[in-house]
Amino acid sequence: MKQLIQKAPETMTSKKRVQKTFAHEKTDRIPIDTAFNPGILGRTMQAFGLKPDQSEDFLQALGVDFRSSSPAYTGPNLFPEKPGRKVDPVYGCYTRWVAHEGGGYDDFCDFPLKDASPETISAYPVPSPDDFDYETSISYFKAHADKALYVGSAGIVDVINSMGRVMGMEDILVNLMTNDEATLDLVKRKVEMELGIMDRLLCRAKGLIDFLWIGEDLGTQIAPMISLDLYRKALRPMHCMAVQLADSYGIPTMVHTCGSSSWVYPDFIEMGVKAVDTLQPEAANMSPSYLKKHFGENLSFHGCISTAGVLSFGTAEQVRQEVKDTLDIMMPGGGYMLSPTHMIQDNTPVENIITMYQAAHDFGRYR
Least confident of 98-112, 205-219, 292-306: 98-112
pLDDT, tens digit (0-9, with 9 covering 90-100), for 70-94: 999 999 999 999 999 999 999 999 9
3-31 average pLDDT score = 97
pLDDT reading at 102 higher than 80 = no
- Which pLDDT does position 140 carry in this prediction? 98
The residue with greater pLDDT, 104 or 29, is 29
Split at pLDDT 50, 70, 90, the class of 100 is: confident
Provide mean pLDDT across the span 184-191. 98
- 37 pLDDT band, cuts 50/70/90, is very high
Domains of the chain with CATH codes: 14-76+116-363 (3.20.20.210)
Which pLDDT belongs to residue 367? 84
* pLDDT cut 90: percent of the chain above it: 98
pTM of the model: 0.97
Q: What is the 3-state secondary structure (H, E, C) of the chain?
A: CCCCCCCCCCCCCHHHHHHHHHCCCCCCECCECCCECHHHHHHHHHHCCCCCCCHHHHHHHHCCCEEECCCEECCCCCCCCCCCCEECCCCCCEEEEEEECCEEEEEEECCCCCCCCHHHHHCCCCCCCCCEEHHHHHHHHHHCCCCEEEEECCCCCCCHHHHHHHHCHHHHHHHHHCCCHHHHHHHHHHHHHHHHHHHHHHHHCCCCCCEEEEECCCECCCCECCCHHHHHHHHHHHHHHHHHHHHHCCCCEEEEECCCCHHHHHHHHHHCCCEEEECCCCCCCCCHHHHHHHHCCCCEEEEEECCCCHHHHCCHHHHHHHHHHHHHHHCCCCCEEEEECCCECCCCCHHHHHHHHHHHHHHCECC
Q: Residue 273: is its pLDDT beyond 80?
A: yes
Mean pLDDT of 40-56: 97
Mean pLDDT, the chain, integer: 97
